[in-house]
Amino acid sequence: MAKDYFAILGVSKEATPEEIKRAYRKRARDLHPDVNPDPHAQEQFKEVSTAYEVLTDPEKRRIIDLGGDPYAPGGGMGGGAGGFSGFGGFGDIMDAFFGGGGGNTRQRRSRIRPGADALLGVELSLAEIAFGTTKEFVVDTAILCDSCEGAGTAPGTSPAECGTCSGTGEIQAVQRTMLGQMMVSRECHVCHGTGVVIPSPCQKCGGDGRVRSRRTVSAKVPAGVEDGMRIRLASQGEVGPGGGPPGDLYLEINQVAHDIFTREGDDLHCRVTLPMTSAALGTTLDLVNLDESVESLEIKAGTQPGDKITLRGKGVPRLRSTQRGSLIVHLEVKTPVRLDDEQEDLLRQLAKLRGEEGEASTKANPSGGLFSRMRDAFNGR
């Protein structure tokens, strides 16, 4: 069943080209994705753009007037009357056998075409991509021309049939081949296959129906995304030629390195340096996590360099989940570089109490034990 393109634009079948243009501009302005974020409005915008294309195209308008639909299978006219079943006429039969040569060899290109997708790299902190955020980004894309509303024509004017190809969008010529002379078709170089030209283009967009502009878009970054991932923003890309529906905008995540934390999947890692005495005696430390919560670390007596403390459920949220990974704290023990006389005496007493002062006399260092070498290391010798 043929679509009622007049009803889609809200005009009568006797509407003039100027009335059709005004109706299209009004509908397109209300439904354009830059103005109306409703996903259903995007589909309506496509329908309105298609209806405008059909009603301003002489050939498609002729099919509509005959009760058909130019976008229905077979042009919406059926195959029994006026031709062979399955073919529109002799030209279509020539196309089927020779791949072109008789009648219309290609469908006219539409001036209204979908826009391209756009890609924007954005820098986010580790906390922003780990726990999610909503931010505004500045993008530079083609947007709908607000002067002509995508029509590409100057006020009071409309597109006209291309005089070079007579509105067919192609030019036919005779070409000599080894089989003899054959008729070949090429895209019209004047209208670029659209069949129409714009005698008086819009001064702002030059007839393209769109202009480049910087604008601000708001995007929600979900918790748990990772470096290099892309976030899709539907219908926020480039507006198409002729005011066609926009493509999508993709935000590519670039993580900024953190001073303290690193990330491996859903786990967070950090390093904490302990004094030698705290590692030996044990202690309690407070650590500010990436999400600004305070975690209490119980340092066991006798902690060795390279030991780890794992806090489960304190890492990065998993994407599209309420669960979190672990926070893994790597412990390092700091050995003092300088000792004064009192400190050295205390260490000697400790070594003597533990029976360690003279236990490491070796062939490599026969003149000194373990404590002597520790003392030399502390004093930088």
Binding site residues, as ranges?
145, 148, 162, 165, 188, 191, 202, 205
Q: Find out whether 139 and 249 touch, Cβ atoms under 8 Å.
A: yes
Q: What are phi and psi of 61, to 5 degrees?
A: -65, -35
d(CA 232, CA 257): 24
Length of the chain as a residue count: 381
For 57, 91, 93, 235, the CA distances from 177, given in Å and listed in that order, are 35, 20, 20, 48
Please give the single-letter amino acid code of residue 206. Answer: G
**What token pair was written down for 55?**
């009603």
Residues sharing a CB contact under 8 Å with residue 316, sequence separation 6 or more, in sequence order: 130, 131, 223, 224, 263, 265, 266, 267, 268, 324, 325
Q: Find out whether 254 and 121 touch, Cβ atoms under 8 Å.
A: yes
Which residues face 283 on adjacent strands? Answer: 299
d(CA 23, CA 15): 10
Rg (CA), the chain: 38
Binding positions for Zn(2+) are 145, 148, 162, 165, 188, 191, 202, 205
